[in-house]
Amino acid sequence: MSTTESQNSIQELIAEIKAYPDGTDLLLAALYTAAYHYRRSTICTPFPSEVLPPLPDSKDKDYVALQRALSHIPAVHSLLGSDDVLRGLPQPCVPLLQWLLLNPTRRRRFTLCPLGEMMRQLKQRCPNGGWQLPAFAGNNSPSLVLRAHEGHEQEPFARGTVAYHGTHLENLHSIIHTGLQSGSGTRLQRTGANFGSGVYLSTVYSTAFSFCQPSASWPRSRFGSKLRVMLVCEVDLDRACTEGAPGAGAGGGSAVSSGPALPDTYLLVQRPDALRLLFLMVYADAPAGHAVRPAGRVNWCTVMVVLYAAFLVGKALLSAMRHHRY
């Protein structure tokens, strides 16, 4: 890349960060959480392979290099202060930011939105559909709301409804860039699929909120270091069912299944393209600057070995004490 092209690319990146600082923070927090999670091999998708090539003599993704690069990226407000901060970052931080923020095939933009404005837009976009307005109280009130630009650039579905999807923060990177996908019957499945395969949503806010679990996040995020997220989606009730499904004609069946005994307040969506992300609600369980160690996987085999060893040591000590007494 020539010097002029490099300068133009840097300027484009700076302009993107300044235009969407909160969206940049969100995308970095989502990538960070996925990169450090023990399930990163399945949830850190897409991975910046063009920036961080596979490990030598293997096809394994270089998660250590990704973690190292993320550790050098300062808080977004620091990047806003001076262009020199961005230019002074070590490699491959700038290419990683360009991959995350400027990829033309999946550029994702988010801006802060007042809670009341979100409610107004939802009622305007989906005046019918049987969904319920959230009842905010206590810790289920979002700390902030982010508007997803891509979802709002399209006309509302002819027969759409609003539905909520609670998820774990480590899944957010993949959801943002590839959309909500059905994990039923795969390694991605984290909850039950009692009513069939597909993406589960609810028209009741409190139901979806019960699936929002707090996760340690990017420690430099201004949102907080321990976050929950809730997706506010628009669902097309008229879209065709999964391609090739029995009985689906040219117009197809319903994109939303009411499967056996599916509760009225649940939606089971079998076509990912029948979903559209409109807003993200973020809940801060730990304030910004409060370090929270990313959750690691508990090795229960090691735990059992340690407990058994402690039991044997205790048994030996007890035996020695009895022998000494008599």
Asked if pLDDT for residue 145 goes beyond 90, the answer is yes
- pLDDT at residue 204 tops 50: yes
- Lowest mean pLDDT across 115-119, 238-242, 248-252, 269-273: 248-252
- Produce one character per residue of 124-159: b if its CB has 16 or more CB atoms within 10 Å, e if not: ebbeebebeebeeeeebebebbbbbeebbeeeebee
Under the banding of pLDDT at 50, 70 and 90, the label for residue 304 is: low
pLDDT score at 247: 34
User: Is pLDDT larger for residue 96 or for residue 320?
Assistant: 96
> Minimal CA–CA distance to 30: which of 230, 171, 208?
171
Query: Structure tokens of 203?
Result: 């028209």
Sign of CA dihedral 75, 110, 176, 12: negative
Q: How far apart are CA 196 and CA 258, in angstroms?
A: 10
In percent, the amount of the chain with pLDDT more than 70 equals 78
The torsion region of residue 286 among left (phi > 0), alpha (psi -120 to 50) and beta comes to beta
Residue 159 has pLDDT above 90, yes or no: no
Contacts with 190 (C-beta within 8 Å, 6 or more apart), sequence order: 168, 171, 183
Question: Which pLDDT tens digit goes with each residue over 10-65?
Answer: 899 999 999 999 999 999 999 999 999 999 999 999 999 999 999 888 889 999 99
The pTM assigned to this predicted structure is 0.80
Mean pLDDT of 198-212: 90
The tokens for 75 are 């808080």
- Please choose, from the candidates 244, 243, 270, 220, the residue with its C-alpha nearest in 3D space to the C-alpha of residue 76: 220
Higher pLDDT, 300 or 86: 86
Residue 321 structure tokens: 């004490």
